[in-house]
């Protein structure tokens, strides 16, 4: 069964076999008008929609996309979508002047989500996670990463991993689970933090590895959370157990986390608001992808990470929602692209690379998605408007009209 999609303005990057860097971020391929053929969910051919241009003249079905704009399905490479309850009260405290990390130090923040998750049934947690995934899909996200980190006991972290795996079976998106047992020092370990790091290393990580669900291990390296030395110990153990590595680093305070992530050969380092040029250069050298989260800067009223500088220094850039009940509650990748373009000066083409192919590399999914090219899954979205510029132009409005995963129309 071959379907020909035709009469579209297609904008896609090319997969160069590695995350895009520097000027590669801005190198769009445009087919206008363009067409592509999908067979068994895979793109068989893509090219100009002109007679003699290689277009299939004998497909089983033809879908006319009416001259609208087509881009690859978005990839959201950093979320905390598996949580039990929102934290609107804290948002209101922040509106009234409270600081995000101050709330955290006083036992709210991540710990508030830990308390609600520990008390929640599996059903509640699953329902909430599915709700987030549904909303994420409506914004064109066809591949998404989800982290644990609201359990912070072996049992609750495993429960979170299992719920993520269960949710993944019930949604059309590809879901990539990440273990983030070192997300915070839970209150019961406040006066014996070393014991919690021991617990992560000696019990949680082996149990998570045994469960075989999480592909990545992440850690929150930050002042008042995990030190660089503790993070290295946790990540080293995770690698021994067969996981690939990520790290939340230099979000509020520059602890040298970017350099640590590079040294540890992390696939990605995330946040990076406070990262300096030395740390970023080490990431460029190691090929560590920067996963930048402008929605978080917006929501906790912090500066934006220096994404343009990252591109200049040769760091591959990805962008994500960080969707979580605390520091950034949005499932909208179009909103993230808008912030990147309008507030961070990221060129539109680069922002698109950052939410498609580079985001796919950041979660190990580039083999199957992230660009519209022969051999990849037909994960694509139809946008309102003539070009991806519609995203920041029609700001605050969902520009996604249709969503296709493996060639199947979902929205
Ligand atoms: O990526 N920075 C650490 N963790 C999350 C926030 C989690 C929360 O506030 O619940 C983040 O922003
Ligand atoms: Fe995060």
184-238 pLDDT tens trace: 999 999 999 999 999 999 999 999 999 999 999 999 999 999 999 999 999 999 9
Give me the DSSP letters along 69-87.
Answer: EEEEPEEE-------S---
Ligand 2 geometric centre to CA of 269 (Å): 11
Q: Which residues contact ligand 1 via a Cβ below 6 A? A: 80, 109-110, 113, 220, 248, 251, 296, 322, 324-327
| Domain boundary assignment for the chain | 2-72+370-409, 75-362
CB of 263 within 8 A of CB of 289? Answer: no
* pLDDT recorded at residue 339: 98
CA-closest candidate to residue 324, choices 76, 156, 154, 49: 76
Q: SS3 of 191, please?
A: coil
Is the confidence at residue 399, as pLDDT, over 80? yes
Q: How crowded is residue 279: how many other Cβ atoms within 10 Å of its Cβ?
A: 26
What's 2-72+370-409's CATH class? mainly beta
Q: Could you tell me the distance, in angstroms and rounded to a whole number, from the CA of residue 233 to the centre of ligand 1?
A: 21
Which residue of 223, 226, 248 sits with most ligand 1 atoms within 8 Å of its CB, as the best mutation to test the pocket? 248
Dist. CA 302–CA 110, nearest whole Å: 18
Beta bridge partners of residue 278, listed in sequence order: none
Residues 75-362, CATH architecture: Alpha-Beta Barrel (3.20)
**Is the Cα dihedral 177, 292, 410, 349 positive or negative?**
negative
Residues, CB-to-ion distance under 5 Å, ligand 2: 322
pTM above 0.95, yes or no: yes
Nearest CA to ligand 1 atom 8: 326
Q: What percent of the chain has pLDDT over 70?
A: 100
Higher pLDDT, 52 or 152: 152
Buried b (16+ CB within 10 A) or exposed e, 229-257: ebbbbbbebbeebebbbbbbbbbbebbbb
Q: Which ligand is nearest to the CA of 78?
A: 2
Q: Are 323 and 132 in contact (CB under 8 A)?
A: yes
Average pLDDT over residues 36-43: 97
Q: What is the pLDDT of residues 258-314, one digit of tens each?
A: 999 999 999 999 999 999 999 999 999 999 999 999 999 999 999 999 999 999 999
The first and second tokens of residue 83, run together, are 């949580």
Nearest atom in ligand 1 to the alpha carbon of residue 150 is 10
């Amino acid at each position: 069964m071959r379907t020909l999609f035709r009469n579209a303005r297609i904008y896609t990057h090319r997969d160069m076999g590695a995350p895009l860097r520097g000027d590669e971020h801005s190198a769009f391929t445009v087919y206008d008008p363009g067409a592509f053929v999908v067979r068994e969910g895979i793109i068989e051919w893509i090219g100009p929609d002109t007679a003699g241009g290689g277009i299939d003249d004998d497909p089983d079905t033809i879908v006319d996309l009416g001259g609208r704009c087509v881009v690859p399905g978005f990839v959201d490479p950093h979320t905390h979508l598996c949580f039990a309850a929102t934290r609107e009260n804290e948002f209101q405290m922040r509106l009234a002047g409270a600081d995000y990390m101050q709330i955290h130090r006083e036992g709210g923040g991540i710990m508030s989500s830990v308390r609600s998750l520990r008390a929640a049934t599996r059903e509640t947690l699953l329902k909430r996670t599915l709700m987030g995934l549904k909303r994420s899909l409506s914004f064109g996200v066809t591949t998404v990463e989800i982290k644990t980190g609201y359990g912070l006991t072996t049992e609750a972290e495993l429960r979170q991993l299992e719920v993520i795996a269960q949710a993944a079976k019930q949604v059309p998106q590809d879901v990539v689970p990440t273990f983030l047992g070192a997300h915070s020092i839970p209150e019961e370990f406040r006066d014996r933090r070393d014991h919690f790091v021991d617990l992560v290393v000696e019990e949680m990580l082996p149990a998570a590895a045994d469960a075989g669900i999480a592909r990545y291990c992440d850690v929150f390296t930050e002042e008042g959370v995990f030190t660089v030395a503790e993070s290295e110990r946790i990540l080293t153990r995770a690698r021994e157990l067969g996981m690939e590595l990520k790290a939340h680093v230099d979000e509020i305070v520059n602890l040298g986390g970017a350099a640590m992530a590079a040294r540890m050969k992390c696939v990605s380092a995330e946040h990076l608001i406070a990262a300096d040029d030395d740390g970023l250069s080490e990431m460029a050298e190691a090929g560590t992808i920067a996963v930048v989260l402008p929605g978080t800067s917006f929501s906790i009223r912090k500066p934006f990470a220096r994404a343009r500088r990252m591109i200049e220094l040769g760091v591959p850039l990805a962008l994500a929602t960080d969707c979580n009940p605390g520091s950034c509650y949005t499932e909208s990748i179009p909103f993230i692209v808008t912030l990147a373009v309008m507030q961070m000066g990221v060129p539109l083409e680069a922002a698109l690379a950052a939410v498609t192919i580079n985001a796919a590399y950041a979660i190990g999914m580039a083999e199957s998605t992230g660009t519209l090219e022969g051999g990849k899954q037909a994960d694509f979205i139809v946008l309102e408007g003539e070009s991806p510029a519609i995203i920041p132009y029609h700001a605050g409005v969902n520009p996604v009209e249709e969503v296709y995963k493996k060639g199947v129309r979902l929205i």
